[in-house]
A = this chain, B = another copy of it.
Amino acid sequence: MDFAELAPDTSGYLGLVAYLQLGFFQSISMVSAISELAAKETLSTAAGFALSKHQGLVAEIRRRGEDPTEVMAPYVSRVDDFLLLTRGASVNENLLSIYITQGFLDDFFISLSDGLPHDVGARYASLLGADSGTSGIVSLLTDAITVDPKRAHFLAMCGRRLLGDTLLLAQSALVLEGHSESEEARIEPVFTELIATHTRRMDALGLTA
């Protein structure tokens, strides 16, 4: 039995991921609004990438003859709660949140797309794998840490909290039937790999995971 067999049906997958990308678009736009002019370029570009992913997934929902609003509706409160929970109190915390949560969840949903019918899964993975503008966000964060190295400890702590919330959202996307041992066995290697990638993401900022 494979991890990808825990994937929701195609419609559920698209609804959750499409609304999540819309949420990333909103979150990044909001950070852009409160940022310095030079950072606005990086952030509005990243917001545009998230919007493109959202629009690509909405087009996929329409292609299936479904209504995007109806398909996304069941996930609105879950995603809104997640975005509220992972919203930071400062620009730098918000940048870290975007970098960590978007990076993790895009990877996670790319992995999970293996459990969808082959042709569409590959298409959605390719949409999600497109540029997110991450390198610009990493530059903004490393600049902020260079300017004030005392930020490193606080941001490292934020990164741990973000990982926890993100793991929970990821897990909520899986169709679990409560056969805890066999399900855990299937989930574990994938989550281990995603957490290792998270650690590399923190490393890229010079932060301990």
User: Chain A interface (Cβ within 8 Å of chain B)?
Assistant: 22, 25-26, 29-30, 32-33, 37-38, 40-41, 44-45, 47-48, 51-52, 54-55, 58, 68-69, 72-73, 76
Residue of B nearest to A33 (CB): B26
Q: What residues of B have a CB within 8 angstroms of the CB of A29 in the complex? A: 25-26, 29-30, 33, 47
Residue of B nearest to A19 (CB): B37
Distance between Cα atoms of A69 and B33 in the complex (Å): 15
Residue of B37, B47, B68 near A51 (CB, 8 A) is B47
* A73 and B33 contact, CB distance less than 8 A: no
Those 7 A-B pairs whose CB atoms lie nearest each other, nearest first = A29-B29, A26-B33, A38-B69, A48-B51, A37-B69, A37-B76, A44-B51
- Known: A48-B48, A55-B48. Contact between A41 and B26, CB under 8 A? no
Q: What residues of B have a CB within 8 angstroms of the CB of A32 in the complex? A: 26
Distance between Cα atoms of A143 and B76 in the complex (Å): 23
Q: How far is the CB of A53 from chain B (nearest CB, A)?
A: 12
* B45 and A55 contact, CB distance less than 8 A: yes
6 pairs from A and B in contact (CB 8 Å cutoff): A26-B32, A29-B33, A37-B69, A37-B73, A38-B69, A45-B55
Q: How far is the CB of A42 from chain B (nearest CB, A)?
A: 11
Q: What residues of B have a CB within 8 angstroms of the CB of A33 in the complex? A: 26, 29-30
Residue of B nearest to A69 (CB): B38
Distance between Cα atoms of A152 and B182 in the complex (Å): 61
Q: How far is the CB of A80 from chain B (nearest CB, A)?
A: 10
